[in-house]
Structures are given as C-alpha cells and as structure tokens.
Amino acid sequence: MKKLFIFLLLGASACNVLNPNITDDVYVDNAGAASSWVNGVSRQLALTMNQVVVSSELVSDNYYNNRTQSSKVFDIPQIDYYDTDVNNMQTQIAILRTMAEYGLSKVLPGDVTSTASDSAEMYYSSGYAHILSGELFVGLPGSEKGRVLTPTEHLNLAIASLNSAITLADAGSTAQMAYTLLKARAFYSLGNADSAVAIAKTAMSIPTLLQQVKYDGTNSVTNDMQTYVFSSTYNEFAPSPRLDFLDPKYYHTGLASADQKPVTIVKAEEAWLIVAEAAIAGNDLSTARTTLKDLLSSVIANRPTVSLNDSKETRNGGNRTDYPLTAELVKFDAADNTRSGYILNRQAGNITAYTVSGTKVTATDLDAATTQDELLYLLYRMRQEIFMAEGRRMTDLGIKFPVSQTEQLNNTNVSDADIVAQIPSFIPRARGMDDFTNDTASGIVTMKYDMNKVLVENKTSPYIFPFIN
C-alpha cells in the first residue's frame, strides 16, 4: 500500500511528516481530510514563496547578499544548473503543484465535508505553481519525470486552472477577484495584451485587492526575507541605495516569532500597471499617463504605512562596508541628476515603512514624460518599486533559471538546452547591477547602472516588455 506524505496539523500550522502507519486508504475518504490538506497546501505555498522571493531578489538589482549563506553567485548574476538553490526552488514549486493536484484528484473528492472554496484554493495553488514555472524557469516538467514544458505551456495550464478556481469561488468575493487578476498576469506574461487588459480592468473594481501568503513563526514557518532584511542581527540583505526608502517591507515588533509579515502574491496595483503598459505599447500615451496617475492616487496612496524604529540597521553584513547610512543624494547612473529622499537616516528617528506598495514616481514625473520611452521607463520604475521584495523583478529583467541537475539526472526528457539559464546579453555581469560608488565628500551615491534605462534601451529584446515584442 502506498505511503502518503501528509501535513498533520499542529496548532495553527502544519508539519511535514512521513507516517508509515498512514496510507492513502486511511487518510483519503475521511471527513476533515480536505481542510487539513488545504492547510498543508497553504503551508507549502509559504515555503515556496520563501525560496522564490529570496533567490529571485538576489538575482535582480533589488538586493545584494551582504553576508548570508544564501547564494553567493546569484548577484553576479551566475546561475548554474547544479546550484543547490536552483534545485531547491524547482523542488518547492513542484511540491506545491503536486500537492494541489493530489488534493483535487484524491483528497477532496473523498471528503464529504469538502467545499467548492476548498477546490478553488487547490486550483489557485496549481495555477500559481504553473505561473512560477513559466515566469522563473526556461522550462520545467509538468509532472514527475515528465516532458519539460515551455513557459508558454505552463502559463496556459495556469490559465486553465485559474478558470476553474474563478468558477468555484464565491461570486464577487475577494478570492475570486484575486484569481481573476492572477489570470491577467498569466496573459500578460504570454504577451496577450487584449486578454490581459480586459481581465485586469475587471479587477480595478476593487482598488484595495490584496492576496497574501501568511507565515507562522511560532510553528517554525518564518518569512525568510523578513529574517534577512530586518530580524537578523547582521542586516544580511542590502537593498540598492536607490531603493533604500522601500526597505524593509517586512519587519517585526516585539518577538520575531510572534510577528511574521505576509508576502503579497496578488494586489490591485498590477491591474493598473497592465492596462498602462498596453497603452504605452500601443503608443496611447495619454491613456497610459492617466492610468498611472490614477494608480498613484486611487491605490498606492491608500496603502498602509507604518512608523518604524529601524535604528539597528547599519548595513553591517561585511561583504561591502560602504553602504550609505545617512540622507545622501543618489544618482541612478553617472548621467543622472542628483535625487534626494532615497536613502534614509535611520539613526535620526523613525522611518516610514511601506507594507504593501510605495514609489517615488510622482504625477509630475508622469506629466513630464512625453515619449513612449520616457513613459515606459517610469512604468518599469514603478513596477520595480511597487513589487519590491516580492520576487517579481528578475522576470522583468528577462532572467530565467535553468532546469536543475537533480532533475536532469533523474529525467531523460531534460535536454542540454534546458540546463542553461536565460541571462540576456544586456544584463551587466560582475555584480554590476548592484554596484555603486559612495563619494562621502560630496554626499553623492552613484549607481553604476540604471537598469530601467538599460531595459528601455533594449526594449526590442524578446526577453522583456511582453506587450512590445
């Protein structure tokens, strides 16, 4: 009889256990199995997001690994198929997808107490696993030892699963709208502007829309990104100086174990960004500008902020010791004008922390943008700042992870092309995306590269700007 990996509930959380006394026919077909499985999948979603957010933020120009045992080469960026972190991320996504599929095929049908919302949650988790597969990897198998599916195939499977989730969810519920906006994201990644915009516009009806994955420090399901950017003694991940004002998105007051912040998966901001980007791609700059200004005033301005004591933050990780600690001026690259307010003096008093979204792009900036390239630049600045520390930036840079060596050794369907990372030629190497100079005499910090400018300069690349290519 096949043994079953189950998620036994311990208090409010769950623990992954292999119990040799529990088999399919014991666990399945029992009342209550569905609710425990849903909780287990929710826990797996949290574990998956830990791996996704930490690894992809390091690869991007958002954060620099200033100390931790996390990848020391992702910052280069160097992404090898034999890297443990590559395999860990692939594994977590595969577990999430497999658990959701098993819940739909075995657990929920055998439990008379299961609900339509339980099934919707499984379809949502399956769909999200396929979105992560399509956005983050050059390809991944869609089943154990199966054929390596392309990103397009994964995204289409995501849409099919999300269609089922939308149908099963309570009509008009926040969950249903979150599934809907996630579907728009899948169409966005496919480059299907018409479908993405039409679906995104329905999500604009809820400007407070927010779907997050929760963590439970009491039961050892902690937010790893929170640990690295705030809770650790050594301030281990350092943000780009031009993004300093957005760090930390995750923090604790009191005991860290009792205050683990959630990570956002879906939020209303994405709907406005999709609509605006499609308008820019169509050279309808007036609509794009109006949409982005409405995003600032109707959505971001209403997101919560907190006044936070972050005086222990000294960027003291050790690999780099010249991080600015006071309110210095920033230049996004050597050709840029100086900008103020990007670097916070955390010793001068409490700082403002943006718990959902923040940006320094203003309506005045948008009004001054008169060309397609200028608006595209501001939109991608907004995307970077709005999705800060949520694992989205790496995809906007056109970078993808390869299939892991572990998969290659166990799956004859993996080809040589599948084990090569996608890193566009315009991406600076040698840690250039994170590099800067700090002139303490003038008080000016200058980034080596303005990556949003680099993206616009390479807008015809097939790896970026899905509505333009």
The domains located in the chain, with CATH, are 3-457 (1.25.40.390)
Residue 85 pLDDT > 50, yes or no? yes
Phi, psi of 302 (to 5 degrees): -100, 0
Residue 17 burial (C-beta neighbours within 10 Å; 0-12, 13-18, 19+): exposed
Q: Are 163 and 80 in contact (CB under 8 A)?
A: no
Q: What is the pLDDT of residues 280-296, one digit of tens each?
A: 999 999 999 999 999 99
pLDDT tens sequence across 56-84: 999 999 999 988 777 889 999 999 999 99
Contact 121, 37 (CB under 8 A): no
Percent of the chain, pLDDT > 70? 94
**15 or 422: which leads in pLDDT:** 422
445 close to 241: Cβ distance less than 8 angstroms: yes
When pLDDT is cut at 50, 70 and 90, the band that residue 25 belongs to is low
List, in sequence order, the alpha helices (H) in 104-173: 116-136, 151-168
Angle at 212 between CA 349 and CA 272, to 5 degrees: 85
- Label residues 92-114 b or e (16+ Cβ within 10 Å = b): bbbbbbbbbbbbbebbbebbeeb
CA distances from 390 to 54, 94, 251, 304, 355 (A): 9, 20, 14, 17, 11
Q: And the tokens for 312?
A: 């222990």
d(CA 63, CA 388): 9
274 contact partners, CB below 8 Å, separation of at least 6:
184, 185, 188, 196, 197, 200
